[in-house]
Amino acid sequence: MKSALALGLHPANHTDFNVAPIDHLFTIHTAVNRQTRSGVILGEAERIGPLEALRAITLDGARMSGEEHKKASIETGKLADLVILSADPTAVPAAEIEKIEMLETIKEGKTVWKK
């Protein structure tokens, strides 16, 4: 992803849920840390920062489906879809991102799930 960003592209990040569970925090964690299950760093030069990883699963993900005008960032006139997390992924040590918990999910301004 780092190379794509350096070229001025806006790559989206996702998971193939048939292969791995849908866990966006883990997706962010892997983009930031690029560490295999056995602990090997795979492509260290391709690591991106937490903010870039968040953008890849939100705004850039919505851009891939042509929906960036109505979702994926907090702006007037957009859907109020967001999550409340136990910590800020941009403020915790990179290795701790996968330990952040989802506390609440808000869709169109209404709580649809709460821990």
- The answer for residues whose C-beta is within 8 angstroms of residue 34's C-beta and 6 or more apart is 41, 42, 43, 44, 46, 47
Q: Where are the domains of the chain?
A: 2-114
Report the chain's mean pLDDT, rounded to a whole number: 92
pLDDT for residue 82 is more than 80: yes
Q: Mean pLDDT check: name the lowest of 2-6, 69-73, 88-92, 111-115.
A: 69-73
- pLDDT for 24-64, tens place per residue? 899 999 999 999 889 999 999 999 999 999 999 999 999 99
Is pTM beyond 0.85? Reply is: yes
**pLDDT at position 29:** 94
Is the pLDDT score of 6 beyond 90? yes
User: For position 90, what pLDDT does the model report?
Assistant: 97
Q: Is the dihedral of CA 82, 1, 99, 18 positive or negative?
A: positive
